[in-house]
Amino acid sequence: MRIEKIISNALAYAYDDSYVLSIMVAQRANQLAEGAQPLIKADKNKMKLTDIALMEIAEGLIELDSIVED
């Protein structure tokens, strides 16, 4: 799948807000870096963690729990 389509799909799960999507990707990539297993078929040693996170979000496997404002 082309990256544009993946990003478009992922944005739908981030309320069409690219800032929210970037936070979601960063947080999931951190989880993967700390040892979490990918929810898609992916090799953490061969793919960037941010790419894995973005694909998981685009497939609807990672959802936004809430937005907390200070």
Q: What tens digit of pLDDT does each residue of 12-70 get?
A: 999 999 999 999 999 999 999 999 999 999 998 999 999 999 999 999 999 887 666 66
Identity (one letter) of the amino acid at 24? M
pLDDT at 63: 85
Number of folded domains that form the chain? 1
pLDDT at 70: 61
pLDDT at 1: 72
pLDDT at 38: 95
Domain that includes residue 20, residue range: 3-58
pLDDT at 64: 83
Q: Which candidate, 51, 58, 41, 48, places its Cα nearest to that of 6?
A: 58
pLDDT at 69: 64
* Position 52 in a domain: yes
* Position 18 in a domain: yes
* Position 69 in a domain: no
Q: How far is CA 25 from CA 34, 52, 56, 58, 70, in A?
A: 14, 9, 9, 10, 21
* Position 66 in a domain: no
* Position 24 in a domain: yes
